Structure 1
């Protein structure tokens, strides 16, 4: 499965509203998990089995907790049994489709 998630605290004491320290704590959890992942400006996408992916999301959420009085968590999952390496393969299929459209 692929699961894209975004986790951030609210109720922080920072005047600039930045949540970068909290997000860094969450990304450290993701990296330590050794699951295939990709982090961009808005989401981190994980690839793995249901239980291991959601265990990492839970741990990342817990890592954000000390940074605010409330936590916002958004999750979107793509559950496709029998498929592996979809973090890369989905992008490869997209690029092929774009190339074919341009011919």
Structure 2
């Protein structure tokens, strides 16, 4: 085994467009909301609409259950489950 094989063994590159399966539960930050009942979260270039994520979830880390996902467009819908953390900007 060469030095490079040893050094880079196990390395993988993350996609800028991760995909999800219906039923997956993931933690994301809600970037914005439509003001009432849905938020928008970005995971790299993947966009998730989060049903039930109102204004109180913006800039919070939330747990979401993926309902549907289109891998071709890197978009999907999920349902808000709970707030699991505060903003990364809070001091």
TM-score (norm 1): 0.21
Q: Higher strand fraction: Structure 1 or Structure 2?
A: 2
- Structure with more of its chain in helix, by fraction: 1
